[in-house]
Copies of this chain bind each other. A is one copy, B any other.
Amino acid sequence: MSDPFMQAAIEQAELGLAEGGIPIGSVLVIDGKIVGRGHNQRVQKGSCTLHAEMDCLENAGRLQAADYRRAVLYSTLSPCDMCSGTVLLYGIPKVVIGENQTFQGPEAYLQSRGVELVNLQDERCKSLMQQFIAARPALWFEDIGE
């Protein structure tokens, strides 16, 4: 049985794909409840900053430090330097990722700064990204600055 929060992040990724976007999704969980959901908005909003995790945090709104510090950020993909930096800025103590085979962010650095990282190695997350990268490599490379 899959993790219900990762399932919600995957639904965000699939929503993004259906919109013609990059299939990465994220949810923010506090005290066992989803307080924000988001997906990559590069195509949909012409955004270079709204990766899935950023869109999720933005949608969660202005929270207090004490809120972030008991939060868990779920993402279908290993967070990049930008999204990892945002986890550090707000002191989010735990990140759960779907996979890190199609892309791996600075996981060791996050861990060295005290963040707990869990990799669910989810096959649906991998499949979404593998198919997307094969279909639209230029868009994917733009999203990761390559």
What is the copy number of this chain in the assembly? 2
**Which of B49, B57, B85, B146 is close to A65, meaning CB atoms less than 8 Å apart?**
B146
Residue pair B60, A48 in contact (C-beta under 8 Å): yes
A58 within 8 A of B: yes
Binary contact readout A106-143 vs B (1 if CB under 8 angstroms, 0 otherwise): 00010000000000000000000000000000000110
Contacts of A74 in B (CB 8 A): none
Give 18 A-B contacts (CB < 8 Å), ordered by A residue. A42-B62, A46-B61, A46-B62, A48-B60, A49-B54, A64-B142, A65-B142, A68-B145, A80-B85, A80-B89, A81-B85, A81-B89, A82-B85, A82-B86, A82-B88, A84-B85, A85-B85, A85-B86
Query: Is A63 interfacial (CB 8 A cutoff)?
Result: yes
For the complex formed, measure the closest distance between the CB of A43 and the CB atoms of chain B, giving whole angstroms: 9
**Apart from A48-B90, A49-B54, 17 more pairs, CB < 8 Å:** A46-B62, A48-B58, A49-B49, A49-B50, A65-B141, A65-B142, A68-B145, A80-B89, A81-B85, A81-B88, A81-B89, A82-B82, A82-B88, A84-B85, A90-B145, A91-B145, A109-B109
